[in-house]
C-alpha cells in the first residue's frame, strides 16, 4: 500500500488497474503528448493510493460482488478543498458507509497525504486518489483538474468545499486581498461547479454540492467581502439548479450554508468565545442534505430561521446593529 506520484495520466492508470470507467470517460480530454503539456497540466500533481488491492468489493452488509452491479462500480466521489475540516469529516462518513473511489483535490500534497492515509485506515476497501492544484483561481487548471478526475471514472458526487476567511478590515485596506477573497470564495467554487455540472448533465446523473455560507445571505460590515463571494456562489447555484430542472436533468445541485462551525477557519472566533457547531454534526448534516438531494440546506438547520429573520430585517433596523 504505497502512495506514489503518478507520472502516467490517470486514464492510463485506470486502464492499468483493470478498472472500467462507467461511461463518458472517452469524452474527457486526452492527456497531453510528452513535450506538449499545457501549462495547466504542469500545475497539477497527481498521486494515487488504491487501498482495496483486489477486485472483490463488499458492501457494508458484506454482500459479495456480482450480487449488485453497483458494487462492481463503487461510487466516485470528488472532493475539492479536501483538506477542509468539514470536507474531511464528510469524506470519512462517505468512505465508511460503502466502498468508494474518492478523489481528493487541494493545494497541499502533505495535508492530502495525511487525509488519504487516514481514510485508508478507516475504509480499507476505498480507492483514494489525491490531486494537488497550485492555483484554485486558474480557470484552465480547474478545467484540467476536473477532466483528470473524470478520466479516472465519471464522478457520481462532487463536493466543493474550499474557502478562506480573513479580517474584513484587512480586505478594505488591501484590494489584492479583497480580490483573492472574492475569487477563492466565489469565482473558484463556481468554476469547479460548472466543470462538474456540465459533465454530470452530459452523463445524465450525478450530485453536486457546494459549501456556501450563511454569510452569503445578507452583506454585513463584519464580513461582507467573504459574504459577497458566498453570495456569488448562491446565485450561481440557483441558476445552475434552474438550468438542470428546465432540462429535466436528474443531476442534483445542493448549496450548503453552514453557520459558525468549529474548524481551523474559525479558530480566532472560537478563542474569542463564539459559539460554534461541531464539525462532526455539520458534516453529518451535509451528508444528509446531499443524500436527500436538497436544493439548499442550512447546517445546523436552526440557521434557516435565524437567517430568515436577518434577511428580512428592514435596513432602518439592520443598519443600527453591530453585526
Ligand atoms: N467554519 C465555519 O464556521 C464556516 C461557516 C460557513 C461556511 N464555511 C465554509 O465551509 C467550507 C469549509 O471550511 P472549513 O470550515 O472546513 O475550513 P478549513 O478547515 O479552514 O478549510 C478551508 C479549506 O479551504 C482551502 N483554502 C483556503 N484558502 C485557499 C486558497 N487560497 N486556495 C485554495 N484553497 C484554499 C484550505 O486549503 P489548505 O489546506 O491548502 O489551506 C482548506 O481546504 C469553506 O467554504 C468555508 O468558507 C465555514
Residue 198: predicted pLDDT: 98
Residue 9: predicted pLDDT: 32
Expressed in angstroms and rounded, the spacing between residue 50 Cα and the centre of ligand 1 is 26
Expressed in angstroms and rounded, the spacing between residue 19 Cα and the centre of ligand 1 is 32
Q: Which class for 117: exposed (0-12), middle (13-18), buried (19 or more C-beta within 10 A)? A: middle
Expressed in angstroms and rounded, the spacing between residue 162 Cα and the centre of ligand 1 is 4
Residue 25: predicted pLDDT: 36
Ligand 1 in reach of 105 Cβ (< 6 A)? no
Ligand 1 in reach of 184 Cβ (< 6 A)? yes
38-54+63-318 fold: Rossmann fold (3.40.50)
Ligand 1 in reach of 208 Cβ (< 6 A)? no
Domains of the chain, residue spans = 38-54+63-318
Angle at the Cα of 257 from the Cα atoms of 255 and 258, rounded to 5 degrees: 140
Residue 46: predicted pLDDT: 54
Do 52 and 89 meet the contact criterion of CB atoms below 8 Å apart? no
Residue 20: predicted pLDDT: 35
Which residue is closest in CA terms to ligand 1's atom 11?
Answer: 161
Please report which helix (H) or strand (E) contains residue 255, including its range: strand 252-258
Low-confidence stretches of the chain (pLDDT < 50) are 1-43, 49-70, 72-73
Summarised one tens digit per residue, pLDDT across range 100-109 is 899 999 999 9
Amino acid at each position: 500500500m504505497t502512495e506514489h506520484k503518478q507520472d502516467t495520466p490517470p486514464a492510463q492508470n485506470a486502464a492499468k488497474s483493470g478498472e472500467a470507467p462507467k461511461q463518458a470517460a472517452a469524452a474527457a480530454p486526452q492527456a497531453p503528448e510528452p513535450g506538449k503539456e499545457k501549462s495547466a497540466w504542469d500545475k497539477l500533481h497527481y498521486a494515487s493510493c488504491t487501498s482495496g488491492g483486489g477486485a472483490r468489493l463488499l458492501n457494508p452488509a458484506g454482500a459479495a460482488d456480482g450480487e449488485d452491479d453497483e458494487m462492481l462500480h463503487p461510487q466516485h466521489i470528488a472532493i475539492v478543498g479536501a483538506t477542509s475540516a468539514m470536507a474531511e469529516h464528510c469524506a470519512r462518513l462517505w468512505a465508511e458507509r460503502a466502498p468508494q473511489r474518492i478523489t481528493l483535490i487541494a493545494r497541499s500534497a502533505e495535508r492530502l497525504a495525511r487525509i488519504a492515509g487516514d481514510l485508508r485506515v478507516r475504509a480499507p476497501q476505498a480507492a483514494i486518489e489525491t490531486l494537488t492544484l497550485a492555483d484554485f483561481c486558474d480557470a484552465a487548471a480547474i478545467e484540467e483538474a476536473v477532466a483528470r478526475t473524470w478520466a479516472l471514472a465519471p464522478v457520481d458526487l462532487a463536493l466543493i468545499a474550499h474557502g478562506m476567511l480573513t479580517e474584513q478590515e484587512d480586505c478594505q485596506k488591501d484590494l489584492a486581498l479583497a480580490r483573492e477573497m472574492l475569487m477563492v470564495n466565489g469565482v473558484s467554487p463556481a468554476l469547479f461547479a460548472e466543470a462538474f455540472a456540465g459533465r454530470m448533465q452530459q452523463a445524465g446523473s450525478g450530485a453536486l454540492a457546494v459549501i456556501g455560507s450563511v454569510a452569503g445571505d445578507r452583506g454585513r460590515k463584519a464580513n461582507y467581502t467573504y459574504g459577497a463571494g458566498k453570495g456569488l456562489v448562491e446565485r450561481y447555484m440557483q441558476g445552475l439548479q434552474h438550468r438542470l430542472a428546465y432540462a429535466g436533468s436528474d443531476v442534483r445541485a445542493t448549496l450548503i450554508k453552514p453557520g459558525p462551525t468549529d474548524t481551523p477557519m474559525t479558530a480566532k472566533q472560537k478563542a474569542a468565545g463564539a459559539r460554534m457547531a461541531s464539525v462532526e454534526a455539520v458534516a453529518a448534516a451535509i451528508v444528509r442534505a446531499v443524500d436527500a438531494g436538497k436544493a439548499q440546506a442550512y447546517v445546523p438547520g436552526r440557521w434557516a430561521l435565524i437567517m430568515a429573520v436577518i434577511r428580512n430585517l428592514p435596513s432602518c433596523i439592520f443598519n443600527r446593529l453591530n453585526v
